């Protein structure tokens, strides 16, 4: 059996009881996490724990690393081992390795599953105090967003992940962003939003004693903003679209109130 799990963030604080049990009971535990404290915690739970980070090699393709990780995760299944692979955040989001490992395991006729976990977006909406159920949201990987022109719903929030790695094809150490990628992202966003529109650069807190990174910048300053490779960009909606009166009537809902036109002396919010 292969189990793919997520550790969330804040070391062990966001790990579900089911995930912890699978980590502890696995014959082989593999992990790829973003901080040394979580790595140490995993090794303490299961002495078989092995990091997958050495699959990355400077100047080589990130996809090659992903294939190498999936191969390493699946290999012990041939001997009947119970295998668990743990990843920071949610294992289904922006991780080619996890999906490939599941596919390979099932192709071998082995049972395989992925468990839900706390994701970067769960942390983002809590830390920013926004409700995607009220404002709506679209989510894209940043390179895909830049290279595949698509309609943008400016009446809903836009979430872009890995904005510091736009166009990056090979692994490199450090957290410096791709400057050309950021310039291109700014150009694409400026087709849909005004230059003064405020954006939020976000990174979830990695440790219980740390604070999340929240940096607010106007769109016009995005290319020079303090971005990390794994930064998330939150673009608030410009304005919510008006409700359709005919559909409100069919549903038996009250009509949307009309906003008074501002005039001299009128109270403003």
What does the chain look like in DSSP terms, one character per residue? -EEEEE-BSTTTTT--HHHHHHHHH-SEEEEE-SSHHHHHHHHHH-TT-EE-GGG--TTSBHHHHHHHHHHHHHGGGGGT--EEEEESB-TTSS-HHHHHHHHHHHHTT--EEE-----HHHHHHHHHT--HHHH-EEEEEHHHHHHS-----TTSEEEEE-GGGTT--B--SS----HHHHHHHHHHHHTTS-TT-EEEEEE--SSTTS--EEEEEEGGGGGGS---TT-EEEE--S-PPPP-HHHHHHHTPPPPPPPPPP-TT----
Higher-confidence residue of 69 and 265: namely 69
Model pTM above 0.95: no
| Residue range 36-67, pLDDT digits in tens | 999 999 999 999 999 999 998 877 788 899 99
Task: Give the pLDDT confidence score for residue 264 in this predicted structure.
Answer: 36
pLDDT at 58: 76
- Average pLDDT over the chain reads 91
- What pLDDT, in 10s, does the model give residues 133-182? 999 999 999 999 999 988 999 999 999 999 988 987 766 665 567 788 89
Quick one: pLDDT at residue 171?
Answer: 63
Whole-number percent of the chain with pLDDT over 70:
93
Mean pLDDT of 13-17: 95
């Amino acid at each position: 059996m292969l189990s793919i799990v997520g550790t969330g963030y804040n070391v062990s604080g966001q790990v579900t009881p089911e995930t912890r049990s699978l980590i502890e009971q696995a014959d082989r535990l593999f992990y790829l996490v973003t901080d040394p404290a979580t790595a140490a915690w995993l090794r303490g739970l299961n002495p078989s724990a092995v990091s997958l980070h050495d699959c990355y090699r400077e100047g080589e393709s990130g996809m090659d690393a992903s294939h190498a990780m999936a191969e390493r995760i699946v290999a012990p299944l041939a001997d009947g081992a119970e295998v668990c692979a743990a990843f920071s955040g949610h294992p289904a989001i922006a991780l080619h390795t996890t999906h490939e490992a599941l596919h390979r395991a099932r192709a071998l006729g082995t049972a395989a599953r992925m468990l839900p976990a706390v994701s970067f977006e769960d942390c983002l909406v809590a830390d920013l105090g926004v409700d995607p159920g009220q404002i709506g949201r679209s989510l894209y990987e940043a390179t895909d967003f830049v290279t595949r022109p698509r309609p943008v719903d400016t009446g809903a929030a836009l979430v872009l992940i890995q904005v510091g790695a736009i166009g990056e094809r090979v692994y490199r150490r450090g957290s410096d962003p791709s400057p050309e990628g950021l310039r291109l992202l700014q150009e694409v966003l400026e087709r849909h939003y005004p230059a003064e529109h405020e954006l939020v650069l976000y990174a979830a807190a990695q440790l219980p004693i740390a604070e999340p990174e929240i940096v607010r910048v106007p769109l016009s300053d995005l290319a020079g903003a303090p971005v990390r490779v794994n930064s998330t960009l939150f673009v608030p909606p410009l304005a919510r679209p008006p409700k359709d009166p005919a559909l409100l009537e069919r549903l038996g809902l009250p009509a949307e109130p009309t906003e008074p036109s501002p005039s001299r002396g009128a109270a403003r919010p």
